[in-house]
Structure 1
Amino acid sequence: MSSDTRTGTGAAGSADSPADSDSGLSRRRFTVLAGAGVAAAALPGTAARAAPAVRPAYLGTYTAQPGGGAGIGLASYRPGSGRLTPTGVLGGVANPSFLALSPDGRTLYAVDERAEGAVTAVRVGRGAPEVLGSRGTGGADPCHLSVHPGGRFLFSANYTGGSVCVHPVGRDGTLGEACDVVQHKGSGPDPERQAGPHAHMVVMDPAGRYVLAVDLGTDTVHTYRLDTGSGRLQERSRATMRPGAGPRHLAFHPSGTHAYVVNELDSTVVVCDYDRRTGALTPGTPRPTLPPGTEPPERNYPAGVLVSPDGRYLYVSNRGHDSVAVFAVECGGAALRPVSVTPSGGSYPRHIALDPSGTLLFAANQKSGSVTTFRVDRATGGLSSAGAPLTAPIPVCVLPG
């Protein structure tokens, strides 16, 4: 497989969204269609006095599809009950299919998954959310993003473009022009899904030293060293999954010595050894995400993968089987043992997320238009329903604050 190449450093940010001026990031407020609950969710001081248990949540969707949303969905939830309540919509962001919060929780970032890919910054946490502006990602259809642990950089993965982009982040959360775009090369054996590279996730390791990019199209996970001065990436190693596996996302064990890669195309999850010193990832034996003999009504595509805060359990969402698989993490993170498989409460759970306490798990069911909340049994890792799901237009990402 040939090595990566870079494109358009600096110029990568030229494909700003039409809402932004050519001279830089514009700051414009968009109407928030909210009920009475949005004030409690958006004003921390007021919320603390009136309802101390209420926390914000954000929903990603597709705005260009029939039945899709009008922007980023706004909601609130009560950690005690897990009940989600819609509080409004933030318009002006196209196809915000994946979301991430800054380390201080004051800035929300969204991908603009479209042919001229972009990422958007939104100020949250005090008053009505405010769109700070957008920057181009130098590639088509960004589908994932993550924030540097220190909040200094934003990383995004261009799915159709097959590239990884880095943006500098200002002290106020605004985005600068792209400082690096790394183009992946190669293909895989699946002619429909692997004709070329498809970067599907990019995230830093727990130590904040290396950036890992998961590429579904080439069956690889790339490890890059980040130059924190320039924001440029330098590849250090590359891990290869089983041909045709289609790696989608990964999650690190809290120890930082293991990572778990979920493969979309062959319904497996792989425990990988991780060398914190070099950033090298070494895949182990794939494990099925479904029980033996399971025959879903349609082809199964695993999507989300999470590790509990204490590192004891792993969760994987199955689209097609419409379930969340639970694995016990054993041997210090080096082994997985199947525990249970729980229906997701809807159809096509594209994304799952844990609340900060690790006691609630949310599943965004894309095809049924619902977000389900589960209580997490901290002793067994098991999931139980926390009540009626939230109805939402094409929910493909849920981000509890």
Structure 2
Amino acid sequence: MAQGGSTGRRRAFIGTFTAAGGPGVVTAEVARDSGALTLVSAVNHVPDPSYLALSPDGRTLYAVSETADGAVAAYRVSGDRPTPLGAPVPVDGSGPTHLSLHAGHVLTANYGSGSVSAVPLRPDGTLAGQPSGRLQHTGSGPHDRRQRGPHAHQVQPDPSGRWAVSVDLGTDSVRVCTLADGAPAMHREFALRPGSGPRHLAFHPDGERAYVVNELTPTVTVCRWDAAGGSLKPLTEVALLRDAPAGDAYPSGIVVSPDGRFVWTATRGADVLSVLAVEGDGLRLVGTVPCGGHWPRALAEHAGFLYAANERSGTVTWFAVDPATGIPRYDGSVRVTAASCVVFG
């Protein structure tokens, strides 16, 4: 858990859409016993800080600015209020929706432009300047409105730390990249089912399996991951809902339990969390529970609790997880307008 700089208190950081009335980057204190969140402060430094990432030492927080121009910002985490570390840095891409830390850089997945950017970091965690490189995705998919071109939605390092993996909703594919002289470089591209619309990927703790949640169909694609060769092999696709959705159903977040026994996803529209049991190289849908709000954009796990950022209801809800069954039990919520993600150390 992030230690809030030198304060030693448990913290959560919540991203929001300021264009929809969100307060910016929100800090909350986390109760050790119940997982409950208590809001502490908000910093409105950049527009639409929709996704956040914390440095491994818990001292620096990074945020995308999900705007047409696209930028990344850094904050020092100390006291009750993160302090901006200089001006935001443009990412040379539009609509960044995700970021992560890899090999001394912040990587951003730029949904609007369908690209991945790398912004170098100084040793103290501050942003060193303009992007050192950008990888432009190419391609399209069969969905006329959503897949006319590439839409990179997530980028993260693999468990070995050797590769960067980017998930593209527009091209129905996952790209495995290296970082060469600060520039993302393509290693291989792996195709998923046409029209599935992959959004986010989560690795199993064993480092040999990966799960891709698909936005355009409410499914998860189970994959075999080979870190030695940087290879992703799709194995099977599993439904996230018992019945065909009656209306809109757009999966968003995906989390693997720390012990590797369960996978949880959030689905907007249906407004549910799905519980899947890991069974060898497959998954079995255990069931679904209401997310406690409307339009769960992101899902996070910490210390036996699940947290859903419900964008349209403006709430963050938390759930205690039954360790035997993996089923979440709603425990409470806090109001955060246009909440988009929650991160912990």
TM-score normalized by the length of structure 2: 0.95
Which structure has more strand as a fraction of its residues? Answer: 2
Q: For 1:174, which of 116, 126, 136 is the aligned residue? A: 126
Answer yes or no: is the 8 Å Cα contact 2:164–2:176 preserved in 1: yes
Answer yes or no: is the 8 Å Cα contact 2:239–2:285 preserved in 1: no
Q: For 1:378, which of 295, 303, 323 is the aligned residue? A: 323
Cα separation, 2, equivalents of 1:97 and 1:142? 9
Answer yes or no: is the 8 Å Cα contact 1:44–1:125 preserved in 2: yes
Q: Which residue of 2 aligns with 1:327?
A: 276
Answer yes or no: is the 8 Å Cα contact 1:268–1:286 preserved in 2: yes
Q: Give the alignment of 1:14-163 within 5 angstroms.
A: 42=4, 44-45=6-7, 48=8, 54-65=9-20, 68-126=21-79, 128-133=81-86, 134-148=88-102, 152-163=104-115
1:303 aligns with 2:252: yes
Q: Which residue of 1 aligns with 2:298?
A: 351
Larger Rg: 1
Q: For 2:196, which of 233, 237, 245 is the aligned residue? A: 245
Cα separation, 2, equivalents of 1:146 and 1:56? 19
Q: For 1:393, which of 325, 337, 340 is the aligned residue? A: 337
Cα separation, 2, equivalents of 1:126 and 1:371? 22
Which structure has more helix as a fraction of its residues? Answer: 1
Answer yes or no: is the 8 Å Cα contact 1:57–1:399 preserved in 2: yes
Classify 1:77/1:127 alpha carbon distance in 2 versus 1 (closer, same or farther; 3 Å).
closer
Name the amino acid aligned to 2:335: T
Q: Which residue of 2 aligns with 1:165?
A: 117
Classify 1:271/1:42 alpha carbon distance in 2 versus 1 (closer, same or farther; 3 Å).
closer
Answer yes or no: is the 8 Å Cα contact 2:5–2:77 preserved in 1: no
Provide the aligned C-alpha RMSD in A: 1.4
Runs of 4+ more than 6 Å apart: none
Answer yes or no: is the 8 Å Cα contact 1:354–1:361 preserved in 2: yes
> What is the deviation of 1:43?
6.4
Name the amino acid aligned to 1:55: R
Q: Matched residue pairs, number?
A: 341
Cα separation, 1, equivalents of 2:69 and 2:114? 13
> What is the deviation of 1:91?
1.6
SS where residue 46 of structure 2 aligns? coil
Q: State, as a whole percentage, how many aligned pairs show the same letter.
A: 46
Cα separation, 1, equivalents of 2:110 and 2:118? 11
Cα separation, 2, equivalents of 1:394 and 1:80? 27
> What is the deviation of 1:379?
2.0
> What is the deviation of 1:294?
4.2
Cα separation, 2, equivalents of 1:209 and 1:285? 25
More deviation, 68-77/105-114:
68-77
Q: For 1:360, which of 305, 319, 333 is the aligned residue? A: 305
Answer yes or no: is the 8 Å Cα contact 2:4–2:58 preserved in 1: no
SS where residue 327 of structure 1 aligns? strand
SS where residue 64 of structure 1 aligns? helix
Q: For 2:146, which of 193, 196, 218 is the aligned residue? A: 193
Q: Deviations over 1:221-280 (max 9, x none)?
A: 0001223xx222221111111111100000001111110001100111010011111111
Cα separation, 1, equivalents of 2:300 and 2:179? 27
> What is the deviation of 1:204?
0.6
Q: Which runs of 5+ in 1 are unaligned?
A: 1-40, 49-53
Answer yes or no: is the 8 Å Cα contact 1:155–1:166 preserved in 2: yes
Classify 1:125/1:311 alpha carbon distance in 2 versus 1 (closer, same or farther; 3 Å).
farther
